[in-house]
Amino acid sequence: MPLSMISAALVAAIVGFGSTIALVLAAALAVGASPEQTTSWIAAICFAKAAGSALLSTWKRVPIVLAWSTPGAALVAASTGVDIHQAVGAFIFAAVLIALTGVIPPVNRAVNAIPSGIASGMLAGVLLPFSLAVATQAVAFPLLVLPLVAVFLLVRLANPLHAVLATLLAGLAIAFSWGGTPWPQVSPDLTPLTFIGPEFAPGVLIGLGVPLYLVTMASQNLPGFAVLRANGFTPPVTAALGVTGIASAVSALFGAHTISMAAITAAICLDEGVHPDRDQRWKVGLVYAAIWAVLGMLGPVIIATIIAMPAAIIAVIAGLALVSPLIGALTSAFEVPTTRFAAAATFIVTASGIAAFGVGAAFWGLAAGLLVHGLEEIRRRIA
């Protein structure tokens, strides 16, 4: 197993966990989850991601990594008047809708019909803000950030494949040594799952379950499939939706909201630097799954450690890790002349970060690109 593969999976998991764990904790608080139920929520969603990533990567021989639904967590965190049992019922309902979507043929055709230039433009727009954050964090926290940038650049001169891992280790050293951040004192719970009985309240199913399904599909699964296509892989849409839907339904019984295709963290695991042989790159999904299984078992300790690290360090590690995928996405987006303008529209709208009707910028960027592409196709046919 190449060290670069372990490094990519480790960084993807840590970045994915650390960058949005606070949002998941806020969601648990919003629905009145107890400390035990919150721990179960996080453990269950980690185990679901691990099982789904390992199964899909091995089954389809494609490097598939899963994520929890970040916009879904935000949706739950913004909810009011919903208790944890009603929330679990809504999670199960959304999961069933996702699984059913996988067997509807028009969905497969629609996803596979997206031009690669437009998919790459959306990916580039998603990645750009993370890389830009390195510069803004360097201005705000130079003593924390500039040493990390220096480590990344120097190690990259010797071995680009190990630059991100070295930066991650340097970040831990800075945070918990001379950075002054104390190590959290938490005892690990190796049996963190707690069954939570669902309550299927019609109002909550419509008001929370349906929106959760929609934002997960629009803001996570579609970009996730596009990321695979942008990196030259054919996304197994039906299998992925079926596995994530079923896994989400099972993990919901222990408090977890929906899992989905990863987009940002997937970009870290799909770059050619992970493994030069594309046919062997699927194995990163197994490493990624193993790391998430450990995160699930050691959830209380990991949560405390990640939250204790300065947010600037996490942001910089993510931004530096995504520079190479950003270069690849921009190159692919503007490679084909016939889709270049549509790709630019996709990139601009996605990078703007706009959100409307509870749906994130990635979906609207994709919609803008497809609209421009459709108009140009009509013009070409008339001409």
Query: Per residue of the chain (383 residues), what is the pLDDT tens digit?
Result: 678 788 888 888 887 886 677 778 888 888 999 888 988 999 999 999 999 999 999 999 999 999 998 878 887 887 888 899 999 999 999 999 899 888 887 766 766 677 888 888 887 887 888 889 899 999 999 988 999 999 999 998 987 767 877 888 888 888 877 656 666 666 655 567 899 999 999 888 988 888 888 878 877 888 889 888 888 888 898 999 999 999 999 999 999 999 999 987 788 888 777 787 888 889 999 999 999 999 888 877 766 676 677 878 878 887 888 788 788 889 988 999 999 999 999 999 988 888 777 566 777 888 899 999 999 999 988 97
pLDDT of residue 118: 87
**Termini Cα distance of the chain:** 53
Orientation angle between helical segments 323-333 and 116-140, nearest 10 degrees: 140
DSSP-assigned letter for residue 285:
H
Residue the block writes with tokens 């372990």: 6
Q: Are 116 and 256 in contact (CB under 8 A)?
A: no
d(CA 143, CA 202): 52
By residue range, what is the domain housing residue 141?
3-382
CA 91 to chain centre: 18
Q: Are 66 and 259 in contact (CB under 8 A)?
A: yes
**Number of domains the chain is built from:** 1
What DSSP string runs through 53-119? HHHHHHHH-S---EEE-HHHHHHHHT--S--HHHHHHHHHHHHHHHHHHTT-HHHHHHHHTS-HHHH
Q: Are 240 and 65 in contact (CB under 8 A)?
A: no
d(CA 127, CA 351): 8
Task: Indicate the burial class of 172 (C-beta count within 10 angstroms; 0-12, 13-18, 19 or more).
Answer: middle
Q: Is 295 helix (H, G, I), strand (E, B) or coil?
A: helix
**pTM of the prediction?**
0.72
Phi-psi region of 357 (alpha: psi -120 to 50; beta: other; left: phi over 0): left
